[in-house]
Amino acid sequence: MTTIGLDDLSITVGVIIAMSALIATLWNAIKAIKEMTKPAKDLAGRVDEIEGHLANDKRRLDEQEEAQKLLLRSMLALLEHEISGNGKEQFKALKNDISTYLINR
């Protein structure tokens, strides 16, 4: 039977402590890397959210622009009718355009 000497025991304890220190160092390094990259990830998420809002706002502004153009065309037809007394065909076409716009909205 082999006896374990004090030197063998101190070497074993030293190896265990060294391995524990290595694991703790690696753990802290991983934690530090995650903390350093977190602001960039948060910012990327925020930018994606803002780009989504921007796309939604652009779509809504485009819809408003289309509605405004339709209103201006209607007002122009009314002015022309008031001035010349004509334009009934233009009224019918505008009525169809307005109906189409409201249905597709």
pLDDT digits (tens, 9 = 90+) for 33-73: 999 999 888 999 999 999 999 999 999 999 999 999 999 98
Looking at per-residue pLDDT, the higher value among 62 and 5 belongs to 62
Mean pLDDT of the chain: 88
Pair of tokens at residue 28: 């802290």
Looking at per-residue pLDDT, the higher value among 50 and 1 belongs to 50
Q: Determine, yes or no, domain membership for 88.
A: yes
d(CA 43, CA 88): 57
Q: Determine, yes or no, domain membership for 12.
A: yes
The count of domains in the chain is 1
Looking at per-residue pLDDT, the higher value among 83 and 17 belongs to 17
Q: Distance from CA of residue 39 to its chain's centroid?
A: 16
Pair of tokens at residue 30: 């991983």
Length of the chain, in residues: 105
- What global pTM score does this model have? 0.54
Three-state DSSP at 32 gives helix
What spatial distance separates the first Cα and last Cα of the chain, rounded to whole Å?
Answer: 91
Q: Determine, yes or no, domain membership for 1.
A: no
d(CA 86, CA 75): 14
Task: Find where tokens 């022309």 sit.
Answer: 80
Mean pLDDT of 18-46: 93
92 band by pLDDT with thresholds 50, 70 and 90: confident
Helical spans, DSSP H, in 1-105 = 6-84, 88-104
Q: Determine, yes or no, domain membership for 79.
A: yes
What is the share, in percent, of the chain residues with pLDDT greater than 90?
49
- Which pLDDT score, from 0 to 100, does residue 35 have? 92
- Structural domain of 42: 6-104
